[in-house]
Structure 1
């Protein structure tokens, strides 16, 4: 059946301006990591992508190595674009990244101009695109001059292969210097993608201030702290959970009794607000307007629907925010 997007899709979403740019991003964006790879079911991916767009999620976030296996998320998204979303290309924000290991040899990772240009060319081919909307350097490279990496991002925009550029996992000072270089080249940094959630708050130690000063937007990845800030672990570690599996990003050692006790208290607060814990965690990341978008992962349609539902509850009170801080600090 030919896909036709819901006509009221833009009435269901909040759109926030990214820094001082002209671009607005949905408050909830969809990351195509882990559940959009070659080992996953394409029809489930199709259902999630369609539902996300029907709910006003216009931003789909990828990277060269997303899968598994690496590259397969971009290939699958290219299939979904061709079969479903191609008529809506001008309504989509598609991002990808390079910087982590992708292919063997000296040019398959980090931040050289060789790696970034070659990687994006591969990504465009996998997705069947002429350009992406945002291209990120995925992590800082300690051995490549920042001037070379930023000049590569500038070159990519001038080649018409990306409309905007961004950074991910850069520290506050690295971001400040990268922004200075990009501005001098005439291609300002649009956005920074850091990890941020109620438990991991490193961005509050200077990065958010730099983004405000430089006029750079932000999109928070892992806003649910790899699933810890959901109802998944309220009763301990389930056999089919990510923490019980082989994931290198979360294991059962991260789910201590102390963590579960805090999650239960947060869950009680969320319930009093008429939300699921996952919804409260997303709303918390977006509070106050300093974060442009919260980047979610999903394995089923209902998780995307829940995430968008986080936008429907009123803002936090001062007492609620203080309680969250007290719970986390223990």
Structure 2
């Protein structure tokens, strides 16, 4: 049987937008592919490979992973490593590969949080699973209330200086810890360039805690994850909970109790506005993330290649009128005063 050899689409860069990551020289595609779901041991390998091929052919040059993505832990990296080896090594210099450590990964006191021991061991394990000499960005995945932030940043600096990562990032860091991390990074000359945070029409936390504006003003990029609120910002639940939906099949992150009558009303009103814009609700929700230049990329998850092709349709269509933005806010229960300021 003739071997299936992947040759990337020569026009892959023509339809994608690429944005600088903060004040760094690195650029992210406006849409990046996340491996959080559907790339673990419970997924179909051929489908994973097809999604990666489709993504790259459409100009998506960033694959985002973490040490514990699966299930089982480590399996997303192992599958990504196999896909990279079989399809993408000729294109390695055209791809941004990122991974993270910070959540529980192995048993005992050294497989979690933000110690130098954990982060150093984790990057070595990740590189073995990925089959790479380096990743482009290594993130600390969450704030550690017990490890001094200086130790965590020093560990990231050591990893970068060893050549195991080109840049460092943080994820799920609030304003206070982001500010301190930037200060430490400047002192030790660590290229800390990005904060990965949850952000969607339904989750404005990075606006409320000031991270979005602070990062923009201080040269740190933001990449947004969960832009569809685990699927609520799509047409999946407009008529109830389908049997094959995430709520029905996987209750880890989205629950039936999240789909209240008020939330359903909001989803249906947003879907109506999206239709007026000539977009699906999912497309509008992704475009909304990129409505200004404060966010350099939006992370999408996918279960099949066709979803990726649908999502990149937002490129060139991320502008919103003031009236549309106000309508979205009002649908979500955000009101405006007489001077058109939200409260």
Question: Taking structure 1 as the reference length, what is the TM-score of the superposition?
Answer: 0.99
Which residue of 2 is the match for residue 13 of structure 1?
16
2-structure distance, mates of 1:6, 1:234? 36
Write the deviation string for residues 52-74 of structure 1: whole angstroms up to 9, x where unpaired. 00000000000000011010000
1-structure distance, mates of 2:84, 2:251? 29
2-structure distance, mates of 1:58, 1:226? 23
Which residue of 1 is the match for residue 298 of structure 2?
294
Residue 37 of structure 2 corresponds to residue 28 of structure 1: no
The 5 Å alignment of 1:85-104 reads 85-104=88-107
Which residue of 1 is the match for residue 6 of structure 2?
3
Write the deviation string for residues 63-105 of structure 1: whole angstroms up to 9, x where unpaired. 0000110100000000000100010000000000000000000
Write the deviation string for residues 146-202 of structure 1: whole angstroms up to 9, x where unpaired. 000000000000000000000000100100001100111111311000000001001
Pick one of 64, 67, 76 that aligns with 1:64: 67
2-structure distance, mates of 1:27, 1:312? 10
Which residue of 1 is the match for residue 310 of structure 2?
306
Write the deviation string for residues 100-129 of structure 1: whole angstroms up to 9, x where unpaired. 000000010100000001001000000100
Which residue of 2 is the match for residue 133 of structure 1?
136
RMSD: 0.9
2-structure distance, mates of 1:261, 1:74? 39
Which residue of 2 is the match for residue 213 of structure 1?
217
Which residue of 2 is the match for residue 120 of structure 1?
123
2-structure distance, mates of 1:312, 1:169? 28
Structure 2's unaligned 5+ residue stretches are 335-343
Segments of 4+ moved more than 6 angstroms: none
Structure 1's unaligned 5+ residue stretches are none
SS of 2:72 mapped into structure 1 = coil
1-structure distance, mates of 2:96, 2:220? 17
- Deviation of the 1:289 alpha carbon: 1.1
- Deviation of the 1:314 alpha carbon: 5.5
Which residue of 1 is the match for residue 205 of structure 2?
202
